[in-house]
Amino acid sequence: MNTLLLLAAVGVADPPAPAPAPLHCPAPAAARGEVKAGPPLAHTFELTHRGPAGTLTITKVEAGCGCLRRALATGVLQPGETTRLTVEVNTLTQPDGPNRWQAVVSYALDVPGDPAARRTGELPLTITATLSRDVSIDHPQVAFSTTGAAAQVLTLTDRRAAPLRVVQAAGTSPHLTAEVKPRADAPGKPSTQEVVVKLAADAPPGHRDEAVILLTDDPAYPELRVPVRVLKRAPGGVTASPDEVVVRAGAVPEDVATLVQLRAADGRSVGVAGAESDHPGVLVKWSAGVRPVAAVRVTVTAAAAAKPGGGTVRVKLAEPPGAEVVIPVSWTTGDR
């Protein structure tokens, strides 16, 4: 009887524990507590190769939000070596209250002389913070979609008794400039200041992600960064109306759909071969066939509209091959 029990125990013994992941972070979750929104929130993670012999290569760092910027010191590690990954959150575009941001580090471990031993994996990293704001900007991001020169106005609002002043502004491209207007102060009201963002007529065609950087006289808010999406179209061709989708969600978010019409400048019919979005919360449908005016329906889902954000819709045209129309999409929440 005892022999049978012993054999049964051996048969149901726990399997050996899996080998620890070769890429290790001693503190993969950073809780930053209460943070004033506006200035960038940066955190540096240490990543160490703790696996067996072999070269560990960080193949990709993906962010769950376009508000994150990543800077990796080095992407190739030998056993025992450590690198540093700095993740920076643009808090200016994020809502008040508790927030959680995630970046996922993908890696591969290669053992010399043994290609079959290649091992891949992912390491998630998170930053949490509760945001509150005294300073805000009316647009979480600026979007240009044009064939020529264009301009948009940003309004900065400071609700404090001693408001800041924007002293200088510049774009990250020589074709993107910013003009700072005088601050407006009125008794009993928040201070406001306008910045005119201008896209030059000679900006080259194409889609680019840029930014406008605002420098202030306040040491608590020394720099504010506003994302700018630029779609410069060549004259002629197919144009979208509206040329960008801007959604302001209500207090209770719900799906918001916008119909975008596509027309050719020379009056010819337009055919859509397909369309896709780079944001999971932006859905796209389009009309089949070739017609004088093609239509694309862009829907920002309620889940996406719960937080400010943006994305890009790319519409592939049937003719000429390879041609596409890019439509910037952005949304703000009801409390902004």
277-308: per-residue pLDDT in tens?
Answer: 988 889 999 988 888 999 999 999 988 888 77
The residues, any chain, with a CB within 8 Å of residue 7's CB and separated by 6 or more, are none
pLDDT recorded at residue 336: 43
pLDDT recorded at residue 7: 44
User: CATH fold of 236-336, please?
Assistant: Immunoglobulin-like (2.60.40)
129-175: per-residue pLDDT in tens?
Answer: 999 989 988 877 788 888 889 999 999 999 999 999 999 999 999 99
Q: How far apart are CA 64 and CA 45, in angstroms?
A: 17
8-52: per-residue pLDDT in tens?
Answer: 455 555 655 566 789 999 999 999 999 988 888 999 999 999 988
Contact between 94 and 307 (Cβ < 8 Å) = yes
Give the mean pLDDT of 226-240.
82
The residues, any chain, with a CB within 8 Å of residue 336's CB and separated by 6 or more, are 95, 136, 138, 140, 308
Token pair 């050996």: residue = 16
Residue intervals of the chain classified under CATH 2.60.40.10 are 20-132, 134-235, 236-336
239-250: per-residue pLDDT in tens?
Answer: 888 988 988 876
Three-class secondary structure of residue 174 per DSSP: coil
CATH class of 20-132: mainly beta
Quick one: 134-235 is in which CATH superfamily? Immunoglobulins (2.60.40.10)
The pTM of this model reads 0.64
Backbone angles phi, psi at 51, to 5 degrees: -90, -170
Using DSSP bridges, classify how beta strands 256-264 and 294-300 pair: parallel, antiparallel or unpaired.
Answer: antiparallel
* DSSP strands (E only) in 73-175: 76-77, 82-89, 97-111, 114-132, 135-137, 142-146, 150-158, 166-171
